[in-house]
Chains A and B, each alone.
Chain A
Amino acid sequence: MDMSEEVLQQASPGLIPGSGTARAAKPTRLSPSFISWLQAGPMMLVFLAFFLIPLVFVVIVSFWDYNEYQLLPALSGRGYTDTFEGCIAQLPDLCTIAKTYLKTLKLCFLVWAITLFIGFWVAYFLAFHVKSKTWQMGLSLLCTIPFWTSNVIRMIAWIPLLGRNGLVNSGLTKAGLINHPIEWLLFSEFSVVLALVHLFTFFMVVPIFNSMVRIDKSLIEAAYDAGATGFQTLVNVIIPLAKPGIVIGSIFVITIVMGDFITIGVMGGQQIAAAGKIIETRVNALQFPAAAANAVILLAITFLIITMMSRIVDIKKEL
């Protein structure tokens, strides 16, 4: 509780203690706490109705029973047992569900590593090499605009490039490097990772850039004057100071990829199983408790990853 207040104090310095001073003027004025409720209440209601209560329902329904037609509001673990069906009997072989989660984690890790690499250097370039504010804003905007356009369009944009008769294949064939078109370019794990990196590197660039522009340039000069090489400055000064941005960006990318079912569906040719995809499949089969059970598992894994990451840095302080 007190930590969030600290953050808010940072966000609006001087406002919190000062707000009470000019209040004595008229007795008819609404009390400040009532005004706060009036101002923040509507947003709180939206989150309550469309986020918090739905989450509670996900947990409750995950323990309900079901048949082919409907939900049965009776306590049952069937959502979970159906999910893990045969997992213990199959040991030491991994069952489908375990394999699916492992594959999701693998995709997640790949996308995280690549977006972090690209995002870090793009942010580094913008923050330290682009000196003029106008250029900095213009180039950041250039990176931001695609984020505002449809994800599906950005996914299908790979079809003319990676397809069987796409630019890459026809180019390589014409250059005499291959005889047959490469089949794994599209509708494969490769294309899924490529599309996810294409879609979500933005979420790395922005927070890392934000932490980097806040770094005091004189610290870097001091490191330079003290005889540090560029690499030493990077490892000992810039990376530690940019860590909050790195962690926030990582949390975004990881949670998005963990829950993704659309990109994996479209770019994987509906062939690759992933955690989000299981939920969608269960919903389409009207097996809501099983879908909810998977959602709870996914939520738990996501929560675990975020907790581990926020151990590294206090996220709230950085927002």
Chain B
Amino acid sequence: MKEGRPRSFYVLAIFFAAYVLFLYGPMIAIYVLSFQGPQGGLTFPMNGVSTFWIAKLFQGTGIVDLGAAFRRSLLLGVIVMIVTVVLSVAAGMAFRRKFKAQSILFYSAIASLIVPSIITSLGISLEFRIIDDLIKAHWNENFETSMGLLTSGLGAHLTWTLPFGLLIMFAIFNRFDPRLEEAARDLGATPWQTFRHVVLPIILPSVIGIGLFGFTLSWDELARSSQAIGAVNTLPLDLQGLTTTVTNPDIYALGTVISAVSFTVITLALGTIHMLNKRQAAKGSDAGQGLV
């Protein structure tokens, strides 16, 4: 094409920069505001600079028991991450072959992604209510509820993370060279050995990506948790509860802490992916290494 940049480049570059500013500007504002002094309010200008509000969170003197919510969200996020990785990789492998009901699974995943979250959440809560009623009627009158963080809550989060995991697996196998597996088979590898020593190392960077999606989507999930989580709250739910009563920078401090966890996980995951890709580039080929 032409040399030099057309005028549209500069117009769109400015548009893009404005979009990025729009995306990040408000978030940066609350990160800054969470470092207000003890007299600080909800808006600029800053009233002193301190870590008072963040320290207050960790003392547990705030409005809700954030420590417990923090641990619950973390636990749920880690479990969702592990389950999402395992089930997505397994199902992704299955989709490379024809099997009955594969279009049912595919459509379920897509539908789960686009049916409004409130409906999924309501459905899960109704399902568990009906289960509870059955248990009360037939087995144990004093039964409280089967809803909880790791039953209905876990299920609700998985309906959100698994479709992403499956779609990423499709993308991975889209550019996977099956000749590598054939070579392993020809050398006498069992299917499990082929997977463990050939397929997995190659797809590992993207699998880390699935884990990243799994954890952060669960960590920040709100709409599906709202009806389905049971009696306890996750961190985003507590945060949402605070928005109606907010009067001081508590809420910004909490926002900053939650974001810090998200960003740490993203950075760790991206760092690992980068490292794995580099390793693959360095060790993946033995061309030019001689016969030893």
Which positions in A face B, CB cutoff 8 Å?
1, 3-5, 7-8, 10-12, 14-16, 18-19, 22, 29, 32-33, 35-40, 42-44, 46-55, 57-58, 61, 71, 118, 121-122, 124-126, 129, 139, 141-143, 145-146, 148-161, 163, 165-167, 170, 198, 201, 221, 224, 230, 251-252, 255-256, 258-262, 266, 270, 276, 279-280, 283, 288, 291-292, 295, 298-299, 302, 306, 319
Contacts and interface: CB of A to CB of B under 8 A. Distances in A.
Interface stretch (B8-16, B53-61, B63-71, B141-149): B8-16
A44 B115 contact: no
A145 B267 CA distance: 10
A54 B131 CA distance: 12
A143 B16 CA distance: 10
A167 B31 CA distance: 15
A42 B159 contact: no
A15 B178 contact: yes
Interface of B: 1, 5-6, 8-9, 12-13, 15-16, 19-20, 22-27, 29-30, 33, 42-44, 86-88, 90-91, 93-120, 122-127, 129-130, 133, 152, 155-156, 158-159, 162, 166-167, 170, 173-174, 176, 178, 182, 185, 191, 212, 216-217, 219-220, 222-223, 226-227, 236, 239-240, 243-244, 246, 251-252, 255, 258-259, 262-263, 266, 270
Given A39-B90, A150-B259, A156-B30, A295 B114 contact: no
Given A50-B159, A165-B43, 7 more contacts: A12-B176, A42-B90, A43-B90, A57-B130, A153-B27, A170-B43, A259-B118
Contacts of A49: 155
A145 B266 CA distance: 8
Contact of A11 (B174, B185, B220, B243): B174
B12 A121 contact: yes
Given A125-B15, A153-B258, A47 B240 contact: no
Given A143-B23, A262-B222, A150 B255 contact: yes
The 6 A-B residue pairs whose C-beta atoms are closest, nearest first, are: A259-B116, A54-B123, A50-B155, A36-B99, A157-B26, A39-B94
A295 B90 contact: no
Contacts of A251: 114
A25 B223 CA distance: 50
Nearest to B235: A150
20 contacts: A36-B94, A42-B90, A44-B105, A50-B152, A55-B123, A148-B212, A148-B217, A150-B236, A151-B222, A151-B236, A152-B239, A153-B259, A170-B43, A255-B116, A259-B117, A259-B118, A276-B116, A283-B227, A299-B119, A302-B116
A273 to B, nearest CB: 14
A209 to B, nearest CB: 12
Contacts of A292: 122, 126
Contacts of A15: 96-97, 173, 178
Nearest to A283: B227
A58 B120 CA distance: 9
Contacts of B105: 40, 43-44, 47
B259 A39 contact: no
A121 B246 CA distance: 37
Given A148-B220, A259-B117, A156 B243 contact: yes
Q: Is the interface of A mostly helix, strand, loop or mixed?
A: helix
A265 B285 CA distance: 55
B43 A166 contact: yes
A149 B27 contact: yes
A118 B19 contact: yes
A40 B27 contact: no
Contacts of B104: 44
A44 B116 contact: no
